[in-house]
Amino acid sequence: MSVGGSCPVVQTLRRSPAVFRRRFRRDRSLSHGDPLFRLHYLGSEKVYSLDVSQAEEAITHLLQNPTLTSLGKDHALVVRQRYLEVKEVSTGRQLTKTFLRDVACCTTHSTQPNVFLYICRQSGQVQLQCRVFWCHRPERARDITACLASSFQRALKDWQEGEDRTKSIQPIREQQEESPTHSANSLKVN
């Protein structure tokens, strides 16, 4: 047994594939197969327009927050078919849920490439919020932006297909007016 650390058997077990599978299984249970990105949720700030300067102020304010230095808990941004979810990785607790229709824009920060943000409207409110995240690598922030862009495209396509379907279906009242055989007077009761 080594004096300064754990024994080699314990270290071997920690590096075993079963431990890694357990870690990845936890991520899978958080996302249920949807895209999941591990990052740190810095918080949200109210903004009053989509002006770049307001987003810059929100980012600056959240980056100056003293809790940023510790970056305590890991968070997961899960991109679902109709909404975005921010969850705590350790507990699985949902922190925020934002429908895609309520997201105005998403981007990475130009001078801080590890920062990803999206501006959204809280459901039932007019006020906009800027939600800011810190990614471990700049590539991760760009990947999140690309994933959201494809989700927006998919949601738009689904919405357009739904519009086409509703236009092709006539309401029942119009169908009855066009067909004279389905009138209430034509029924005979014995």
Distance CA 131, CA 122 (A): 11
Instruction: Note whether residue 14 is domain-resident.
Output: no
- Based on the structure, what is the number of domains in the chain? 1
pLDDT of res. 1: 46
Domain boundaries, position 105: 21-153
Tell me the pLDDT of the chain (190 aa) as tens digits.
445 556 776 666 566 655 444 454 444 456 566 788 999 999 899 999 888 889 899 998 988 876 555 566 789 999 988 899 999 888 888 999 999 989 999 999 888 899 999 999 987 788 899 999 999 899 999 999 999 999 999 888 888 888 777 776 656 555 555 555 544 444 444 4
Q: What is the pLDDT of residue 171?
A: 60
Closest to 27 in 3D by CA, of 75, 82, 70, 73: 75
- Closest Cα to residue 44, out of 145, 115, 143, 133? 133
In a domain, 185, yes or no: no
Whether 33 is covered by a domain: the verdict is: yes
Residue 81's pLDDT is what?
86
Query: Is residue 172 domain-resident?
Result: no
Residue 31 lies in a domain: yes
Give residue 92's pLDDT: 85
Residue 94 lies in a domain: yes
Using CB atoms within 10 Å of the CB of residue 143, give its burial: 0 to 12 exposed, 13 to 18 middle, 19+ buried: middle
E strand or H helix at 33, and its extent?
none
User: What pLDDT score was predicted for residue 165?
Assistant: 72
Residue 111: DSSP 8-state: S
Q: Is residue 92 part of a domain?
A: yes
In this prediction, residue 25 carries a pLDDT of 47
CATH number at residue 83: 2.30.29.30
| Within-domain flag for 186 | no
